[in-house]
């Protein structure tokens, strides 16, 4: 990821400007303000602003004036209780605003999470730079035979080289056509952009409350999520861990590292504990559910 000189200068000016406030602040996130965190080849995530911290979640749950006289351990236990029992409203009291640069096809997948406020860079008003996503050779894979929206085995070195060459040639050709439509034909920007592929980079400001952000991360940090959006989710996750460490600990324990069992799955586990190993045929589970359960149990 490379910033243009004017972008680097703007961020440097923002970092040098320090303000005092009476609002609660998070030291962990303050240290990462205005720092673009690289994602993929040209993308990034950076914090623009935030509201609240761990104490804000606790304060909302208790409806109190401030931190009070309770110990940090009490706050930790309350946050874990809220997370464990899915009391979501207190987490909605915190918000995070991010500046994200990402490929268009990732943005189209991302925007399915409709619980955020979004303002995207407009190619109707501005001319797009020649920046497109080109995967690493090791990230190129065949279509999975079982999962229709997933990747299977990796391409061999020769195949990967040919695919990368095709992708790069196609992107360069399309951008040349884009420039020709603008400069030679004088076509409007809102129409000329049609020739660009979804590998092109866009940017947006994305603001979301902590509850909905954690839901987004639970989906996009999952190992089954598409690699490219998972890169962004992992980066955002590292910011959340610095912002609200007690919330993040509870989220990691009760969401990321947890397994949800259906009623039928619980019966299978109870039978196993009673020394009566069930079978797929009498479990009431589909083959896929049975496989998922056995994987979760390490069997």
Catalytic residues: 220
79, exposed or middle or buried, with CB in 10 Å at 0-12, 13-18, 19+?
A: buried
Helix (H, G, I), strand (E, B) or coil at 42: coil
Of the candidates 106, 86, 90, 87, the one whose C-alpha atom is nearest the C-alpha of residue 45 is 106
Greatest Cα pair distance, the chain, in angstroms, is 78
Tell me the C-alpha to C-alpha distance, in Å, between residue 274 and each of 2, 12, 290: 59, 63, 18
Q: Which residues pair with 207 in a beta bridge?
A: 97, 117
What burial letters (b/e) apply to 81-106, b meaning 16+ CB within 10 Å? ebbeeeeeebbbbbbbebbbbbbbbb
Q: Which whole-number Å values give the CA distances from 271 to 84, 265, 276, 281, 287, in the listed order?
A: 25, 10, 5, 14, 18
């Amino acid at each position: 990821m490379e910033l243009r000189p004017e972008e680097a200068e703007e961020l440097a000016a923002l970092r040098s400007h320090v303000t005092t406030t009476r609002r609660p602040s998070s030291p962990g996130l303050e240290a990462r303000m205005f720092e673009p965190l690289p994602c993929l080849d040209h993308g990034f995530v950076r914090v623009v602003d935030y509201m609240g911290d761990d104490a804000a979640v606790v304060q909302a749950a208790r409806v109190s004036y401030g931190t009070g006289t309770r110990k940090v351990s009490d706050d930790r236990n309350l946050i874990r209780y809220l997370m464990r029992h899915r009391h979501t409203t207190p987490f909605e009291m915190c918000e995070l605003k991010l500046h994200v640069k990402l490929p268009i096809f990732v943005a189209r997948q991302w925007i399915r999470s409709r619980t955020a406020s979004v303002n995207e860079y407009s190619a109707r008003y501005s001319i797009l730079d020649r920046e497109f996503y080109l995967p690493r050779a090791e990230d190129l894979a065949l279509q999975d035979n079982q999962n229709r929206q997933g990747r299977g085995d990796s391409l061999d070195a020769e195949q990967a080289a040919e695919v990368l060459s095709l992708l790069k040639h196609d992107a360069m050709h399309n951008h040349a056509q884009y420039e020709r439509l603008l400069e030679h034909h004088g076509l409007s920007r809102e129409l000329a952009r049609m020739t660009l592929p979804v590998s092109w980079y866009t940017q947006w400001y994305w603001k979301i409350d902590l509850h909905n952000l954690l839901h987004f991360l639970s989906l996009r940090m999952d190992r089954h999520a598409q690699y490219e959006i998972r890169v962004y989710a992992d980066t955002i996750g590292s910011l959340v861990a610095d912002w609200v460490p007690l919330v993040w600990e509870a989220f990691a324990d009760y969401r990321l590292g947890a397994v949800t069992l259906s009623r039928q799955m619980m019966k299978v586990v109870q039978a196993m504990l009673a020394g009566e190993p069930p079978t797929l045929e009498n479990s009431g589970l589909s083959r896929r559910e049975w496989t998922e359960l056995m994987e979760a149990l390490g069997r």
